[in-house]
């Protein structure tokens, strides 16, 4: 998996498919031919999630969830952006976070 770093990639993903769950908001976009290859993923948390410590904790949890789910459930040629939710992403039990991520991926590709 490659990590998204450019703002334009995040904006393109925000205008594509979206699926929200209790603990994570997933944005997914199928790339056009000739763009990048493989699965690309980005992570973001706004200040609504909390202070810098809370945002970093939420992003660490999102990175781990993506590492565990996207190689199996993600599709080649897609960009995924995981957005942390206010207070829940950092505090929900990890198994529930994983379940929400799997459900969001399944709905995005349905």
* pTM score over 0.85: yes
In 3D space, the residue among 73, 76, 46 whose CA is nearest the CA of residue 59 turns out to be 46
Structural domains in the chain, CATH included, are 2-108 (3.30.230.10)
pLDDT at 55: 92
pLDDT at 39: 93
Tokens 């209790």 — which residue? 22
Q: Per-10-residue mean pLDDT for the chain, 110 residues long? A: 92 93 93 86 93 93 95 93 91 94 94
- Cα separation, 65 vs 47, in Å, equals 21
């Amino acid at each position: 998996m490659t990590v998204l770093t450019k703002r334009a990639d995040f904006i393109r993903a925000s205008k594509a498919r979206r699926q929200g769950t209790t603990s994570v908001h997933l944005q997914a976009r199928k790339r056009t031919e000739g763009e990048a290859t493989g699965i690309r993923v980005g992570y973001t948390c706004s200040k609504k999630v909390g202070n810098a410590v809370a945002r970093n904790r939420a992003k660490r949890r999102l990175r781990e969830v993506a590492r565990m789910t996207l190689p199996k459930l993600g599709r080649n040629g897609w960009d995924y952006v995981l957005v942390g939710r206010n207070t829940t992403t950092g505090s929900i039990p990890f198994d529930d976070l994983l379940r929400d991520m799997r459900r969001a991926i399944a709905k995005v590709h349905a």
